[in-house]
Amino acid sequence: MAAYPAEHSGDPFASLTGQVFRPARQRPVRMRGVTEADLPELHRLDREVFQEVAYPYFMLRQLFDMYADHLLVLDDGEALQGYVLAGIGDDSGLGWVLGLGVARARRGEGLGRRLMLEILGRLRNDGIREVRLTVDPTNAAAIALYKSSGFAPATAEGGLRRNYFGPGEHRLVLGLSL
Ligand SMILES: CC(C)(COP(=O)(O)OP(=O)(O)OC[C@H]1O[C@@H](n2cnc3c(N)ncnc32)[C@H](O)[C@@H]1OP(=O)(O)O)[C@@H](O)C(=O)NCCC(=O)NCCS
């Protein structure tokens, strides 16, 4: 998930530097909508990516119930290698990217950007006019991806919202007009 930061995982450097083990040949991935049958594998991937701040299964299940139309996965035929999740806010013109993650061994291949571009296109087609997301202020890789996708601080102080996710859990809130 990205409603909470991978950066708080037990291995923050691997998340932030992208230093990953990569076999010589990677299996091609296909982007597709999630199905109910994907939930156990999606939960495995979410725990791999976000570790102790991964969604509990019940939460993932309910997010699926609410947002399956905006939950895309990358499937290599054997395992899921990434996902993006978006939701529609109270104001029906506002969408939120709630989660974005790519398996560690598949980072740096452009998969995160593919997921982001696809979900933004779908939100635009759904009539969403503004998209927001939050990110840990120390998550250099994700921030670079978001800024190069056009996101900019959505609030004062460069988007920094202190204690946004509870005491000590600061977030940057970024936004993009579609
Ligand atoms: C953030 C994340 C989704 C990026 O996925 P990815 O597939 O590796 O990203 P891409 O290969 O598509 O790279 C897209 C852009 O992200 C940025 N980026 C990716 N890895 C980076 C790194 N290690 N350092 C700095 N910037 C990086 C670059 O701007 C890159 O564009 P470029 O290749 O043109 O330079 C991935 O690192 C991840 O899953 N991290 C853990 C989960 C997480 O933090 N999710 C976001 C929570 S808000």
Pick from 113, 138, 170 the residue to mutate for probing ligand 1's pocket: most ligand atoms within 8 Å of its CB: 113
Angstrom distance (rounded) from CA 130 to CA 56: 28
For 69: left if phi > 0, alpha if psi spans -120 to 50, otherwise beta; the answer is: alpha
CA of 2 to the centre of ligand 1 (A): 13
Angstrom distance (rounded) from CA 47 to CA 144: 23
User: May I ask the CATH class of domain 6-16+28-133?
Assistant: alpha beta
pLDDT in tens, 33-82: 999 999 999 999 999 999 999 999 999 999 999 999 999 999 999 999 99
Report the 10 Å Cβ neighbour count for 95: 27
Q: What does the domain layout of the chain look like in residue ranges?
A: 6-16+28-133
Tokens of 80: 């899921």
**Is 70 exceeded by the pLDDT of residue 4?**
no
**Is 70 exceeded by the pLDDT of residue 169?**
yes
Angstrom distance (rounded) from CA 99 to CA 127: 20
Angstrom distance (rounded) from CA 127 to CA 157: 29
**Is 70 exceeded by the pLDDT of residue 24?**
no
CA of 98 to the centre of ligand 1 (A): 16
Question: The pTM is what?
Answer: 0.89
